[in-house]
Amino acid sequence: MKIKTDEITSVIKQEIEQFASQLEISEVGQVVEVGDGIARVYGLSKVMAGELLEFEGRGGTVMGQAMNLEHDTVGAVLYGESTGIREGDTVRATGRLLEVPVGEAMLGRVVDPLGNPIDGGPAIQTD
């Protein structure tokens, strides 16, 4: 098999031209304790009261809300299935406060604390 250096060079040049470096900075913590829909998180020193948190558990991502800000830890309410969240799981601060959409499409609908429909109806489209 013959190696064509001009092809390799062109591929490398193309990769370099398309390379885009983006730096993503996020505050990350770890679950210290979880039970009864409440999680205690270590490492989120700059989290705001009421801020949405993303818990990366075994069953997928679960959202939570920072409620009890202490010196070393944060107490958070979990909005979702908490059985997949375990000690040591990663938690990310989102920088967003809890928000729920409003509008005509919400009339008569049953939603969870995050505004997701739980009444078996179609997805809610609001602006």
Q: Which residues of the chain have pLDDT under 70?
A: 1, 23-25
DSSP assignment of 75-112, as one string?
A: EEEEES-GGG--TT-EEEEEEEE-----SGGGTT--B-
pLDDT of residue 33: 95
| Domain residue spans of the chain | 28-106
pTM beyond 0.75:
no
* Alpha-carbon distance values, 20 to 15, 23, 27 (Å): 10, 10, 23
Of residues 62, 72, 61, the one with CA closest to residue 38: 62
Fold classification of 28-106 (topology level): Elongation Factor Tu (Ef-tu); domain 3 (2.40.30)
